[in-house]
Structure 1
Amino acid sequence: MTDTTTAPAHLADPGVRPHARPTRSIVNPATGEVIATVPEQGAADVDRAVATAKEAFETGPWPTMVRSKRARLLLTLADAIEANSARLYELETRNNGRPITETRAQLSRVPEWFRYNAGLLAAQRDAVLPGDGEYLTYQRRAPLGVCGIITPFNHPMLILARSLSAALATGNTVVVKPSELTPLTTLALVEILHAAGLPAGVVSVVTGSREAGERLTRHPDVAKITLTGGTEAGRSAALATAARFARVTAELGGKTPIVVFDDIDSVVAAQGAAFAAFVAAGQSCVAGSRFLVQRGSYDAFVDALATRADAIRIGDPAAPGTQLGPLISAAQRDKALRYVQIGLDEGARLVAGGTVPDLPGPLNQGFYLRPTVLADATNDMRIAQEEIFGPVATVVPFDTEADAIAMANDNRFALGAGVWTRDLARGHRVADRITAGMVWVNDHHRLEPSLPWGGVKESGLGKDAGTESFDDFTWIKTVVVRTAADDVDWYGQADPGRLN
């Protein structure tokens, strides 16, 4: 068993003896086994972590480091992450239950975010602004200061890297509050960064739950919060940061519509639908959870999706052949099961899954749910409107393109969307009319460091990744330099000319 109760150096207040603070047990969701214990930290620990980060920002070398040197160090950090990748894959799979094949595919890309932001830093150019008269006007970007990053349980390391790499590249210091359920790869990643040369105090981790997260969002010395989580948590963070005019980026809930037109082969569409709906056991804000299928191919699509769902291999996430792991907790599994029953009570038809699988040995104590498909739903049902966050797909028929667009937009969330069609003109047209921060055509879940990630409506505000995220970790200073040879004497001139 891994025991992290004795806090590493990057944890807040490492000098406190382990028995002097409460601890939290970290569970492997595949078996229910306790695999680690970490400090249960609270508001006082956040205060100490922020004070450390503030001191590192105000007196340490990181914010004032020569830009090219900081970019080179980011590349070194990326290499160090890559060298430790196998350990990180295994640890995250044990901690959040995602199959090792999925975890490897996702976490192998983490170094790309550090390299991308290192490239943005190396290529950054300050703007020279046009103006009248003998003046040189230019802009400089400066780091914000102490930034807080709050990450969820579903993709803890990737989501952290997405924001952390941009925050570090721009010279900020950071306090990270990972999900209380999945802190292990965050702790491991930050240890790797410090061992690779990241200066002391630049990144700290607070392993706590709600109290720690709320204090971090409200702390007067935190200049920006980046949060990925539920809509209510995002709303609280937005209100807390607005009170002191701090910045916030919030990637929140989703009920992703996937529009399937009848010009595409139903089996092909169902293969893509299964990936959209069931990867990460459906525990993704952009999971394809609401399939809007044109009536001409509706029955064939439902049959193909049910067949594909039933064939998905459920088992030990550490085994290479496993395609679906557990949900993060018994509570999350029970929530998904309640929604299945809600759907049946609303009149939907269960065509696949909906039950807990019977698995051998300790896996039977894990938090599994079979991939579930609920057909013959309507767009106003709760299963089509509310985020379930589990391997539960709802299928709704539609008739016309206009109907599909109206139904896709008829939801309080607007994070992601998908369109499946062989008519690429239609694909562009429908993607343009769907309200969502990201739209995929004939694919799903694809991302790059250069692609801004974030939604609208109740799915949040701001963007992670891309130049948008990089720039939002800085503030702009405009400098106006008078280059004229004569002196300024406004009151001594008969006609001083234009002011402003």
Structure 2
Amino acid sequence: MTRLISTDPATGDVVWEGDASSLGEVERAAVMARRAFPDWADRPRQFRIDALKRYQAALKARAPEIAEAISRETGKALWETTAELAAMQGKVDISIRAYDERTGERETPTGFGRAVLRHRPHGVAAVLGPFNFPGHLPNGHIVPALLAGDTVVFKPSEEAPLTGQLMMECLREAGLPEGVVNVVQGGREVGQALLSQDIDALMFTGSGAAGAHFKRQFAENPHVILALELGGNNPLVVWDAKDAEAVAGIVAMSAFVTTGQRCSCARRLIVEAGPKGDAVIEAVAAIMDRLSYAPWNSTPEPFGGPLISARAAAQAREALQARIDMGARVIRDTGPVDGLSDAFVKPALIDVTDVAVPDEEIFAPFLSVQRVPLFDEAIAAANRTKYGLSAGLVSDDPAKWDRFITRIRAGVVNFNRPTTGAAGDMPFGGLGASGNHRPSAYYAADYCAYPVASFEAGEVRNIEGEMKGLRA
């Protein structure tokens, strides 16, 4: 039996310890979900809504406890995890509205009878959770799936098993029938074991590389619907913005919030070559020097915490150094945060103008600057990526936004706001290596159920009059 241990990356303290699920336990979870599916799918929609409302109430009652658990497991500041719990609660009401708008049932009268549109659940959904938002992101799959009538087997991130356990406790407190929601704990082996079971959907949030692996794995299983919310090498273009200090705040929230561990974080800053661009870069470097990083329960509250682990920090530093070795010029270097664990890293800013660096996401607070002479070249540079999750423009010129929004290729595109900002009542997802054209958030309803279109008449009627070429 493999032992699973979760630690606080800021201190190394053990947060949770338990056995990873065995192959037999994974199989039983999938079997229980399959057995529970017909009854759950056939329950009245209001029954499922009532159950999820009870789950919402359980989350609210235990919000301080769960927020602290997420902070301890991920190192995120408590202000962030408190907001995460609020988003998890809000997801229930948002998903109910989305189900009615995006799916649900509707009918249209016809000459004889009616045309009816219904939506039916897929069946058993495997949900693989990430570590950066270990509550909010899997919750964004689980809630709409349950509302649609799917049953769920949830594998939390191995970095945040306690968060997953607490979520399951809240779902059980809600009184869901046995087998409707099941949790398995463990790492990659457990996840792969889950995906080898009889499932109807995979709902995953994580890296582009993992998403590409799942696309290949299920290429010959088109009956398994894939909802892949992946990473990005996201651009932020700054052009004709007079207040450099105001710009710097938007850049900092785009690139460095959650210590760079958001898939929507800006990784590339594209500015005008010359004095205007120089002023932006200087202002960004200045605000970077003011960002505080400390353990989640520090007073005053820090801007950010550690990366998820010392190993992740070491890998991020290696990736940054590789770019420097390629010729990138250091504006602000990374390094350890004095007196804290090796999981902490300082935000970094490098200039990669005319340097061919890899089109890859570094999941850390590292930002690359590229200088270009013309705005159209800035848009072209922004689109020069295999990813397409988020992008942003900061400018005082609305005409530039009009051009940017029609030419940029990304699923979340913001104007004078951080790239990390996204509304819960809108879709969230990207193109290319950032997803598979099945955005989450408000559009999660789309991949949790499939449409069934029907012509219906209330009686049997002779339709010979509609038939051409019928002999008398």
- Calculate the TM-score normalised by the size of structure 2: 0.93
Indicate the residue corresponding to 1:480 in structure 2. Answer: 455
Indicate the residue corresponding to 1:56 in structure 2. Answer: 36
C-alpha offsets along residues 155-199 of structure 1, whole Å, 9 cap, x if unaligned?
111101111111011111101111111121111011012112222
Task: Confirm whether residue 316 of structure 1 aligns to residue 295 of structure 2.
Answer: yes
Quick one: distance in 2 between partners of 1:472 and 1:301?
41
Q: 1:122 to 1:251 in 2, by over 3 A?
A: closer
Task: Confirm whether residue 237 of structure 1 aligns to residue 214 of structure 2.
Answer: yes
Q: 8 Å contact 2:126–2:153 — kept in the other structure? A: yes
Indicate the residue corresponding to 1:435 in structure 2. Answer: 409
Quick one: distance in 1 between partners of 2:373 and 2:285?
22
Q: State percent identity of aligned pairs.
A: 29
Q: Could you tell me how far 1:483 is from its partner in structure 2?
A: 5.1
Quick one: distance in 1 between partners of 2:158 and 2:181?
18
1:111 to 80, 89, 93: 89
SS at structure 2 position matched to 1:325: coil
Q: 8 Å contact 1:262–1:293 — kept in the other structure? A: no
Q: How does 1:3-152 map to 2 (within 5 A)?
A: 21-58=1-38, 60=39, 62-121=40-99, 125-128=104-107, 134-152=112-130
Q: 8 Å contact 2:349–2:369 — kept in the other structure? A: yes
Q: 8 Å contact 1:67–1:122 — kept in the other structure? A: no
Q: Could you tell me how far 1:478 is from its partner in structure 2?
A: 2.5
Indicate the residue corresponding to 2:319 in structure 1. Answer: 339
Indicate the residue corresponding to 1:448 in structure 2. Answer: 423
Q: Could you tell me how far 1:392 is from its partner in structure 2?
A: 0.7
- Calculate the TM-score normalised by the size of structure 1: 0.88
C-alpha offsets along residues 38-61 of structure 1, whole Å, 9 cap, x if unaligned?
222254332111101111113x4x
Indicate the residue corresponding to 2:335 in structure 1. Answer: 355
Quick one: distance in 2 between partners of 1:423 and 1:218?
52
Give the letter for the 1:128 counterpart. E
Q: Could you tell me how far 1:340 is from its partner in structure 2?
A: 2.4
Quick one: distance in 1 between partners of 2:51 and 2:347?
43
Indicate the residue corresponding to 1:374 in structure 2. Answer: 350
Quick one: distance in 1 between partners of 2:459 and 2:173?
52
Indicate the residue corresponding to 1:465 in structure 2. Answer: 441
SS at structure 1 position matched to 2:361: coil
Q: How does 1:286-325 map to 2 (within 5 A)?
A: 286-295=264-273, 296-320=275-299, 321-325=301-305
Q: In angstroms, what is the RMSD of aligned CA positions?
A: 2.2
Indicate the residue corresponding to 2:190 in structure 1. Answer: 212
Give the letter for the 2:227 counterpart. T
Residues paired across the two proteins, number = 465
C-alpha offsets along residues 255-311 of structure 1, whole Å, 9 cap, x if unaligned?
000001133421111111111111111011111110001124221111111111111
Q: 8 Å contact 1:264–1:420 — kept in the other structure? A: no
Task: Confirm whether residue 272 of structure 1 aligns to residue 247 of structure 2.
Answer: no
Quick one: distance in 2 between partners of 1:257 and 1:32?
34
Extract unaligned runs of 5+ from structure 2. Answer: none
Quick one: distance in 1 between partners of 2:468 and 2:266?
71
Q: 1:476 to 1:379 in 2, by over 3 A?
A: farther
C-alpha offsets along residues 22-78 of structure 1, whole Å, 9 cap, x if unaligned?
2111111111222221222254332111101111113x4x32222123223322221
SS at structure 2 position matched to 1:413: coil
Indicate the residue corresponding to 1:7 in structure 2. Answer: none
Q: 8 Å contact 1:75–1:118 — kept in the other structure? A: no
Q: 1:125 to 1:91 in 2, by over 3 A?
A: closer
Q: 1:122 to 1:197 in 2, by over 3 A?
A: farther
Give the letter for the 1:433 counterpart. R
Q: 1:42 to 1:276 in 2, by over 3 A?
A: farther
SS at structure 1 position matched to 2:158: coil
Q: Could you tell me how far 1:484 is from its partner in structure 2?
A: 6.5
Extract unaligned runs of 5+ from structure 1. Answer: 1-20
Q: Could you tell me how far 1:366 is from its partner in structure 2?
A: 4.3
SS at structure 2 position matched to 1:436: coil
Q: 1:67 to 1:218 in 2, by over 3 A?
A: same
Q: 8 Å contact 2:104–2:119 — kept in the other structure? A: no
SS at structure 2 position matched to 1:226: strand
Give the letter for the 1:421 counterpart. S
Quick one: distance in 2 between partners of 1:472 and 1:300?
45
C-alpha offsets along residues 188-212 of structure 1, whole Å, 9 cap, x if unaligned?
0110121122222111111111122
Indicate the residue corresponding to 1:9 in structure 2. Answer: none
Q: 1:187 to 1:488 in 2, by over 3 A?
A: same
Q: Could you tell me how far 1:422 is from its partner in structure 2?
A: 1.2
Quick one: distance in 1 between partners of 2:216 and 2:271?
38
Give the letter for the 1:394 counterpart. S
Task: Confirm whether residue 222 of structure 1 aligns to residue 202 of structure 2.
Answer: no
